[in-house]
Amino acid sequence: MNQLANPQHGLSSHSDYIAIIENLANQANEAGYPTLYDVSLIIVGALHELSQKGDTVALNSDLPSLLNRWSTLIDAYQQNAPSAVDGIMTVLCHPDLNLPLDEDDFSVFATLLTEELAANNISQHPETTTLNEVVPLQAVDAPSSELANEAETEIADEDEKPLSAMAQELVELLDTETSLLNYRFLAIPFDDSLLEKEEHLELASEELERLINASKMVGFDGLSQVCTHVNTNISLFLQATDSFNIEKRDLLIDWISHVKDYLLAFSKKGAGKQLLAQMANPNWAQPITAEAIALLHPQMQVTGFSEDTAAEEVHEKLATDDDVSLALPDDVNKELLDLLLQELPSYTQQFSEAIQRLHTGGSSKDIDVAQRIAHTIKGSGNTVGIKGVAVLTHQIEDILMACAKAHKLPGAALINTLINASDCLEAMCESLLGFGEPPADARAVLQEVLDWAYRIAKNGIEEANSQDVPVKLEAAAKSSTDDSAAQPQKNTKTEQAESTQVAMVRVPTDQIENLFRLSSESIILNGQIYERQRRLKNQLQAMESQFTLLQQLGAGLDQLIDLKDLSGRSLVTASKEFDALEMDQYNELHTASRRMVEAAVDAREISIDMKKELEYMNEVLEYQQRLVINTQEAVMQTRFVPVGSIILRLQRGLRQTCRLTGKQGELTFSGERLLIDGDTLSALVEPLMHLLRNAIDHGLEGQEERIALGKSPVGQITIDFDREGNSILVRCRDDGRGLDFEAIRQTAKKRGDFQAGDVISEEELKHLILRPNFSTRNQLTQTSGRGVGMDVVNFQVLSLGGSLSLQSVRGQGLTVELKIPLPLSRSHALIAYAASYKVAISSKGLTQVIYSGIGELTTISNEQVLIVGEDIYPVVKLEDLLHLVDRRKERRSHSAVLLVQNEHKITAVLVNTIIDSREVVIKNLGYYMKKIHGFVGATILGDGSVTPVLDIPELLRAPIRANVTTQTTVAERIDSGSNLPKILIVDDSLSQRRALQQILTDAGFRVQTVRDGIEAVEWLANSKPDIVITDLEMPRMNGIELASHIRSHVNIRDLPIIMVTSRSTQKHRQLAEEAGIDFYLIKPVQDDDLLSKIQTLLDRKSTAAAV
């Protein structure tokens, strides 16, 4: 076949191409590829036509190079590489061929080719393939170095084996990666923006990094080294972006096409020679040397993929911890991860089901299903970079593939292993979703799977399957009994997996809120029915006693009538035949009284039946109550999120502050799996972010100072999450310098917080730093010194109803402990009267209820105390806690005493009358009244009335708060919040608004967002921010118009404006400049860049104000 083309000379005319393609087409037809034959003939026809017209293929067209690769493509096609279809279609669709076909025709050909490929994939027998000895094409305009020609000859001589499906797949993976890289290179822009060029080059470099890793993983060491070298070149290009021109980009594109070619023939002798030759091109920033080519060339040919060797290599393997690691790579793509986490539960479940079906019989269809799912999970696992999932599913897929190939169902022992593997996969999935620990037995399970894979590869599926069955059957029997014991556990596992799937359904928060509200309403309504039913029961009780009375009266009447009858007998004319004692004589009175007695008895019996009915109804109601409570809890669960979900954001905040301060810090967490209410968690982010910034800016020393102090150069900050009762406890600890009490004392003195002679304890000093605007720094920095300090954190924590405490050790660090109450939706409460108010006392902190008479109330040094046994408790009246006047007589004792735990102390609270004890639904006091001191919320009672639910520990903590101090505290608090610089974000894109809002809020600014210029103008009419950040293009009023509006209004004329837009041309810039924009930033904007611009503007503003 070699005589058809002479590689030494290459091809230059249409007739050369026609001859070769025709020849290959005939071979293809013989080998059973009719579609390929047709396609080839169509191309031949087109080339004929071109030659008749006398056209030559333009030199600048890429058709010749495509035609040169035709033989390689056909070769790949016959080796079942799906990517070859694309290559063939590229030639077929080439505009230079002028084919009278439309899109539909092309797609029909593509489908036919793919189908043909698939059909041949099944029926093909490697031995019968005769088309491997293909004729290479070489045109004059293609690189014609000696190396290349030599390579082509050698390839032609090569008699190589077809690739295994696994190898094929791995190579496809690399091929996809190269295509991506090709797009990246093509996307490099060459307009005037260097920044964009740089960004694209960086992206390409990242992509290339992935190709390097992938080729290493697949075993293409030569390729990985080549790619590394190109990446070095890209880094060099990045250093001089100016000189990176279109030629250099084309060089990259040419290179990647060589890589693609190489991937089509990597196993042949001399593979990669052309690739290496291309890299010697002097246009590269660092061309490859001849020595390096000599060294690399032997590594380029990859032969380890013939079926047997690959199997040996892959299967003789010990499972390592790394192989089952569920750790996410550092540069994990969040979106891909989210997708994987969404899909994974349903995939693992489907996989388990398929394996389970195989366990109970099953068919080859189940093997296919399981294999397909394993393949999908493996792909996703590899893409995201979760090794544990990818390795396990890869091995499972191999095993299942072997089963499918041999048309053999797995034996009991293998099924057992597969069940274990599917359990392990489920556990991995749960762990990834944050619902549990990674499976402890993962390594053992993987080893088991690996062993099976090895045995199958070595002895074939049938032998492997039959070999261990007797031994394993025993084990299987044993494990099945174990299974039955572990069944409930496994069931709950599946249930959990199912519930996570349900949680994956996206539901608007409003809907959940509404469900929650409705479930609360049901509980309240249930309470009302309960109340009604109780009254009814009482009334029935009263009625019953009335009936009893009636019955008694009836009996009495009966007796009286009898007596009367006897005494008056003489008056009645008696019968002459019978004596009165011989025969009873009845009149109407008798009958009436008897009937009345009977009716009374009947009525009583009916009332007894009714009582029974009521009792039954009571049971139903109780059952319904439990049900609605469960419903509410289930709805509540949907609002729970793991604490770990805010970690990434905190880490980002840390990195940002570290960059700004030039310090080094490392953030670690514990308790991140804790599930808490989503709203509380979001509210926690801001104070935590402040704490982090404080810890780095004020706490951690500089690197040199740390080394001098004998500390590790990187500062350690830990955040621990813990749950304590109905509160979440967050501890933020740093190993920095701790609080400088002397500096605080000095600042406090300067501020006039106390007089020179006063003795101030460290405890009091700690409280001082929680006061608004308290900063010991004289210098303004971007992270602190603008009121972002403990005062803000304290304010935020207090507004969440929580508390903050500080523990500082000089030179060793500061620990800030936040205790935030979690929202209570229900509580057991005592209904009581406090003066004239009906109140519900929540069980929060309640340790005991003592009824009057137990214990002794006495006065010790003017303080009333309660002595119960050996315990003495301080006493306080509920009315005093609520500042109510108790109008009762002083002497009258209280009916109950509540022992309430507050922090570390138990106090006895005297309560007048407890009228009821019940489960109440706690409602908040509306959207605006977030929290009232001493109230957990309010509840609606059975009669529809509303009563406050008291938080006694909170009342005990601060019972006497004079109105004056309260007002100043409120003022101070509001003030401390409003001290932060305010930024107005104007953008029509919701995601952009959110992103900017998050960056700026995290950086300690108050942020207001609006959707366009009009909204901004409306908002600016009443408020004045410190800075405006606006988009350029927006509906209704754009950024330029907004800027003009601002600059033309006296009050806001000086407002600094930053424009953030995707428009990067000079024309837009100039327009913005003319409109009075201070800074023009191009999307995607870098956080640091934006923050430093804001700081510049704020500095400029404060300098102007000072002048």
Partner 1 sequence: MDVQHLETAEQQDTDWLSPTAALTQFLPLETEVSTDNLIAHTETVFGFRVGSLGFLVNSDTYCEVIEQLKVNPLPNVEPWFGGLLNLRGNLVPVIDLQLLLGETSTIDRKTRQLFAIGQGDKAMAFWIDGLPEVQRAFSQPLKQLPPLPAILQHCVSNSYLHEGQIWFNVQFDELFKTLGNRGSGL
Binding region for partner 1 (CB under 8 A): 517, 521, 524, 799, 834-835, 837, 839, 882-884, 923-935, 938, 940, 944-948, 961, 963, 966-967, 969-970, 973-974, 1014-1015, 1018, 1021-1022, 1036-1038, 1040-1041, 1043-1045, 1047-1048, 1071, 1074-1075
Q: What are phi and psi of 443, to 5 degrees?
A: -65, -45
Cβ closer to partner 1: 514 or 893?
Answer: 514
Cβ closer to partner 1: 208 or 900?
Answer: 900
Cβ closer to partner 1: 573 or 963?
Answer: 963
Q: How far is the CB of 1093 from partner 1 (least distance, A)?
A: 22
**CA angle at 40 for the pair 35 and 43, rounded to the nearest 5°:** 130
Q: Which are the contacts of 616, defined by CB distance < 8 A and separation ≥ 6?
A: none
Tokens coding 289? 């040397």
Q: How far is the CB of 768 from partner 1 (least distance, A)?
A: 21
Would you call 425 exposed, middle or buried from its count of C-beta atoms within 10 A (0-12, 13-18, 19+)? buried
SS3 state of residue 684:
helix
Are 202 and 249 within 8 A, CB to CB? no
Q: How far is the CB of 753 from partner 1 (least distance, A)?
A: 22
Q: What is the spatial order of strands in the sheet that 982-986 belongs to? A: 1006-1010, 982-986, 1027-1030, 1057-1061, 1079-1082
Cβ closer to partner 1: 8 or 514?
Answer: 514
Are 825 and 921 within 8 A, CB to CB? yes
Tokens coding 620? 């139903």
Cβ closer to partner 1: 363 or 1048?
Answer: 1048
- The whole-angstrom separation of Cα 955 and Cα 934 is 5
What number of CA atoms fall less than 13 Å from residue 235's CA on the CB side? 9
Alpha-carbon dihedral angle through residues 926, 927, 929, 932, given to the nearest 10 degrees:
80
Q: How far is the CB of 1075 from partner 1 (least distance, A)?
A: 5
Cβ closer to partner 1: 137 or 523?
Answer: 523
Would you call 903 exposed, middle or buried from its count of C-beta atoms within 10 A (0-12, 13-18, 19+)? exposed
Q: Which are the contacts of 667, defined by CB distance < 8 A and separation ≥ 6?
A: 650, 651, 654, 692, 717, 718, 719
Q: How far is the CB of 535 from partner 1 (least distance, A)?
A: 19
Cβ closer to partner 1: 125 or 1067?
Answer: 1067
Cβ closer to partner 1: 88 or 1046?
Answer: 1046
SS3 state of residue 232:
helix
Q: How far is the CB of 353 from partner 1 (least distance, A)?
A: 43
Q: How far is the CB of 534 from partner 1 (least distance, A)?
A: 21
Q: How far is the CB of 826 from partner 1 (least distance, A)?
A: 16
Q: Give the total residue count for the chain.
A: 1107
- The string of DSSP codes covering 509-526 is HHHHHHHHHHHHHHHHHH
SS3 state of residue 355:
helix
What number of CA atoms fall less than 13 Å from residue 384's CA on the CB side? 26
Are 818 and 694 within 8 A, CB to CB? no
Tokens coding 677? 């209410």
> Residue 1046: enclosing H or E segment and its boundaries?
helix 1039-1047
Q: How far is the CB of 1102 from partner 1 (least distance, A)?
A: 24
Cβ closer to partner 1: 507 or 970?
Answer: 970
- The string of DSSP codes covering 104-137 is HHHHHHHHHHHHHHHHHHHH--GGG--TTSPPP-
Q: How far is the CB of 1007 from partner 1 (least distance, A)?
A: 16
Q: How far is the CB of 536 from partner 1 (least distance, A)?
A: 23
Cβ closer to partner 1: 641 or 1075?
Answer: 1075
Q: How far is the CB of 827 from partner 1 (least distance, A)?
A: 16
Cβ closer to partner 1: 180 or 798?
Answer: 798
Q: How far is the CB of 836 from partner 1 (least distance, A)?
A: 9
CA 354 to chain centre: 28
- The whole-angstrom separation of Cα 142 and Cα 656 is 50
Amino acid at 534: R
- Tokens 């009906």 belong to 838
- Give the max Cα distance, the chain: 158
Q: How far is the CB of 799 from partner 1 (least distance, A)?
A: 8
How much is the CA Rg of the chain, to the nearest whole Å? 42
